[in-house]
Structure 1
Amino acid sequence: MALKLWKDLSTLDFENLDPHNTVALLPLGAIEPHGPHLPMSTDSLIAESLCQLAAELVPDDINLLLMPTSEIGKSTEHSCFEGTITHTAHTLLDVWMEIGESVAKAGIKKLIFFNAHGGQPQIMEICCRELRIKFDMLTVGASGWSCGSPEAEGIPDDERRHGIHAGQVETSIVLHLRPDLVKMEHAQNFEGLLKDVEARFEHLRIIGSTYVGWQAQDLHPCGCSGDATLATAELGKIYTDHYAKGLANIIKDVAEYPLEWIRSRADWQGVQKVERKA
């Protein structure tokens, strides 16, 4: 592993970086409620931890720069709960665009956004596209769920579909990473809107291709969805290891991606002129 922390490098270090073989990795989290049993930092903790664990699995010949975690995300859907710290969607897009621009100015052309908060993938996708357009960068958006789910026993089908926030899996991951932050005596089965919508409607879903706009209090009075009482640290380790391995594979793919495949407008216009002459 050739992991370096962005914040620990000097200007000389940046001058000597190889843009073709350097990957910047930006963990994206949030500071928002995760029920009475998990900390506000849950998403940021998961994003940063998975990036650190994935870095240990990356080959030594890849120069990986771990950036400071973007801890404050777009959590307006949780704004009625005390403790939420949030940007608006527009502000967060501006923040990430400016971070991406700083990466480009440092001479680095490959940037991975790794997100652990379900309320901001759309912003991440727009940001990746805009950075590609403006700076000819290879920008990749990923998350734990990009890696699929591991084979694990003890997760009911309902929980796999409905446990989207502070449920069995997320609580298990925090139990594995930081058990001191989990108050299992306050864990509940936060059953609510997702199950009701699925039972009543054929097409509408809270999460899916045809989705309803929602706020956290719509899901459940505690703003959660899923059965946290089923959580175990052992299950958390299974998911953590699976996600870290998946992210490591994404990092390897990005490192191998040829920058020549990123065509500038001038390159494309040149191709068109040649074709017209032919």
Structure 2
Amino acid sequence: MMFEPTRLNKKVSLGAQSANSVADTADKDGSILALPVGSIEQHGEHLPVMTDTLLANSVTTKSAERVASKIPVTVAPPFWSGYSPHHLSLGGTLTGEFSTLLDLLCDIAETGLENGFDALLLVNGHGGNTPLINAAVSEIGSAHPDVEILGLTYFELIADLVETVRKSGVGGMAHGGEFETSLMMYLYPKLVDTDNMAATYWNEHYEQSGDDLVVSGPVSVYRPFEQYSETGAIGAPEVANADTGEQLFDGVTETLGNLLVEVHQKNA
């Protein structure tokens, strides 16, 4: 049966709870506040601009659901604006200045932690946010030395699984490619336009740069995305399918759920 993504889950979603319920969870030993961080940016002609936010939120919520009977965890509403200046020329993109987004993440963390949570986990769903998440972890952690502050990019958790389930070669699981399209086909199939899936494999000039969502390199380079692809999609969305998406979703939510348990145990 197809997984129906939960927008708000009464047990783990902060937005579905009363203030007292949030406080009750935060007061428990080893409590965790998880914040999905996405973006609003073009994803080619076949995926919606909210793809990164939708996926980060679904992954974080389902991961929390998996372990909510064991640990106190709350998922904040997703932080929907990411750092996406490289997508602006292709339209459909809402972004902010790096410093503005960093300040907002720190402000949200500051107020979220006032509820009494023992740990904060930023769950990122947009590659362009990686420096932002790293900076936020440092800034928030420095301001709250008694709280465990962590950040990650969810698709990096399952690099080994990706290699076993992918149908495309390296470069096929990039922006709007097989990975994201498969997840969207599983979670939000009505939002995928399978008649308009034109994309170009990721082919970066520098050998030491990244070639895929899960194949990174030490060299970082800035390019507007139209230099990679006319449609803005990079990879092989044409080989994506819901079965692959289900395997990826199950794998990443199990892995992230296990990490949540580990964070709770360390801070209880």
Q: Normalised by the size of structure 1, how large is the TM-score?
A: 0.83
Letter in 2 for 1:148: I
CA distance in 2, matches of 1:134, 1:10: 27
Change in 2 beyond 3 A, CA 1:19/1:90 = farther
CA distance in 2, matches of 1:53, 1:15: 21
CA distance in 1, matches of 2:50, 2:252: 19
1:175 to 2:185 alignment: yes
User: Structure 1 residue aligned with 2:137, among 109, 113, 128?
Assistant: 128
Name the structure 1 match of 2:241.
Answer: 232
CA distance in 1, matches of 2:22, 2:180: 36
Mean Cα displacement is larger for which, 47-56 or 165-174?
47-56
Name the structure 2 match of 1:266.
Answer: none
Aligned to 1:25, what secondary structure does the other structure show? strand
Distance apart, 1:66 and its partner CA: 1.0
User: Structure 2 residue aligned with 1:118, among 100, 104, 127?
Assistant: 127
1:244 to 2:256 alignment: no
Change in 2 beyond 3 A, CA 1:196/1:112 = closer
Answer yes or no: is the 8 Å Cα contact 2:84–2:94 preserved in 1. yes
Change in 2 beyond 3 A, CA 1:109/1:212 = same
Distance apart, 1:228 and its partner CA: 1.0
- The within-5 A match list for 1:192-211 is 194-195=202-203, 197=205, 201-205=206-210, 207-211=216-220
Name the structure 2 match of 1:156.
Answer: 168
Name the structure 1 match of 2:11.
Answer: 3
Change in 2 beyond 3 A, CA 1:8/1:233 = closer
Distance apart, 1:15 and its partner CA: 4.6
Name the structure 2 match of 1:276.
Answer: none
CA distance in 2, matches of 1:51, 1:204: 28
User: Structure 2 residue aligned with 1:140, among 128, 137, 150?
Assistant: 150
Mean Cα displacement is larger for which, 54-63 or 123-132?
54-63
Name the structure 2 match of 1:271.
Answer: none
Name the structure 1 match of 2:6.
Answer: none
CA distance in 2, matches of 1:135, 1:196: 39
Root-mean-square deviation (Å): 2.1
Name the structure 2 match of 1:221.
Answer: 230
CA distance in 2, matches of 1:154, 1:164: 12
Name the structure 1 match of 2:29.
Answer: 20
CA distance in 2, matches of 1:204, 1:48: 28
Distance apart, 1:62 and its partner CA: 0.7
CA distance in 2, matches of 1:7, 1:120: 24
CA distance in 1, matches of 2:228, 2:74: 37
Aligned to 1:158, what secondary structure does the other structure show? coil
Change in 2 beyond 3 A, CA 1:55/1:251 = same
Answer yes or no: is the 8 Å Cα contact 2:106–2:136 preserved in 1. yes
Deviations 1:160-197 (A, max 9, x none): xx531001111111001011000111112423xx4251
Aligned to 1:57, what secondary structure does the other structure show? helix
CA distance in 2, matches of 1:202, 1:190: 18
Letter in 1 for 2:104: V
Change in 2 beyond 3 A, CA 1:10/1:181 = closer
Letter in 1 for 2:262: D
Change in 2 beyond 3 A, CA 1:40/1:202 = closer
Aligned to 2:261, what secondary structure does the other structure show? helix
Answer yes or no: is the 8 Å Cα contact 1:2–1:62 preserved in 2. no
Aligned length: 252
CA distance in 2, matches of 1:60, 1:163: 34
CA distance in 1, matches of 2:204, 2:260: 39
Letter in 2 for 1:142: L
Name the structure 2 match of 1:87.
Answer: 96
Mean Cα displacement is larger for which, 250-259 or 227-236?
250-259
Q: Normalised by the size of structure 2, how large is the TM-score?
A: 0.86
Name the structure 2 match of 1:188.
Answer: 198
